[in-house]
Structures are given as C-alpha cells and as structure tokens.
Amino acid sequence: MKPLVFYFNFSIEETETEKTLGFIVENPKLFYISLGYSNYKQTMGCFYEDVAEELESEYGVHDWSSAPSKEVDAIGYTTYEVLEEYIPDLMSAWRQKFLDAGCNVTEIINIPLSISVKQDKDIYDYIKSIK
C-alpha cells in the first residue's frame, strides 16, 4: 500500500500570503477501513460526503488540489476562505480524523513555499525528510 500525505495550501487574503501545512499518514488502510472501504481509490469516491463536508461547513471551502502520483497517495486542498486564526484548528481536526481511525500520523509540518504544492511526492518527501 502506498503512503498517504495530507496537505492544505492556505491563501491568506488579509496579508496576501500563502501557507502550506501537511502531515503523513503512515498506515492509511486503517482510515479507509474505518469508512467502510479497502483502498484509496474507493475511499476518494465518497470522501467529500463521508469526511470533508463536515469540516468544510465549519471552516470554509476546501478546493481539491491533489494529483496523486505512482509513489504516494495524497489528499490535498487549497482555500482562500479559511481565516488565518482557524488554520491550526482545522489542521488539528483533519489530523484527528486519521488518529481516530487508529492511524500513525506525523506532526503537522509547515511546508516551505519553495516546495511545489503541485507535486504530492515533493510534499511527502519534504515531510519524510524532517520527521
């Protein structure tokens, strides 16, 4: 099973800056099983209704921005609607979803702007290199 990286790119309108945060889910199969699926592809088919909708309605729009590679699966979002002061709470809530399923999850890592948010594998490699 491929590893899973979760990341979120925030465009902060008040300061006209960007921030990307992410973490690695080391045993994602437990998450998929907790939702009644067996793999990434099946889970992503109903992911919005099963997981994302709740957090999106609480914090603001989540626009899908992931392009999984052959090496890693990814759940990546971008938004301009989440207020900066709520970013830590939103990321912690996402992380908790995986922990509640019994997954091993790294700490939330700040991804430098020099790492491309268009390449899921680059984000995964960066987090893996510093964890």
Domain count, the chain: 1
Q: How far is CA 95 from CA 15, 24, 55, 98, 109, in A?
A: 26, 9, 12, 6, 11
pTM (predicted TM-score): 0.91
Tell me the pLDDT of the chain (131 aa) as tens digits: 889 999 999 999 888 899 999 999 999 999 999 988 888 777 777 776 778 888 888 988 888 888 768 899 999 888 988 999 999 999 999 999 999 999 999 999 999 988 877 789 999 999 999 96
CB-based burial, 74-86: b 16+ in 10 Å, e otherwise: bbbbbbeebeeee
Q: Provide the residue range defining the domain that includes 23.
A: 4-130
**Tokens 């997981």, located at residue:** 51
Which residues have a Cβ under 8 Å from the Cβ of 17 and sit 6 or more positions away? 11
